[in-house]
Amino acid sequence: MTGRTPPADLTVDGTGLLCVTLLLRLRQEIDGAEPGTVVHVVTTDPAAPLDLPAWCHMTGHHYLGAVGAESHSVHALRLTAGARATRPDAPWHRAGPQG
């Protein structure tokens, strides 16, 4: 990411959580947040640098990149209006009719 990462409006602590649980927590924490909200996600999951951008791509939120060089991995994203919903029990799947 070029430039400076915006400060967090909301921080989600996913320390010790793996991808599935991290995305469940993230989805719960951002529920009701306004478009434009900058979210910093703190994670120790080594897959987060791949999973978070992929989840943002799927939902339509903007992945802003890694933040600084801290002991935990911190990633920033900006919530968008009209983001695609995901299933409450499976945040890696888009919400929609079950078939």
For 30-82, give the DSSP string. HTTPPTT-EEEEEE--TTHHHHHHHHHHHHTPEEEEE-S--SSEEEEEE--TT
Residue 92 lies in a domain: no
| pLDDT at position 69 | 66
Residue ranges making up the domain that contains 45: 10-79
Written as one letter, the residue type at 41 is: V
Query: Can you read off the two tokens belonging to residue 75?
Result: 């990633």
User: Domain holding 50: CATH number?
Assistant: 3.30.110.40
pTM of the model: 0.86
Residue 97 lies in a domain: no
CA 48/CA 41 separation, integer angstroms: 9
| pLDDT at position 98 | 53
Burial class (CB in 10 A: 0-12, 13-18, 19+), 53: middle
| pLDDT at position 1 | 42
Residue 84 lies in a domain: no
Mean pLDDT by 10 residues, the chain (99 residues): 78 93 93 96 93 94 87 88 86 72
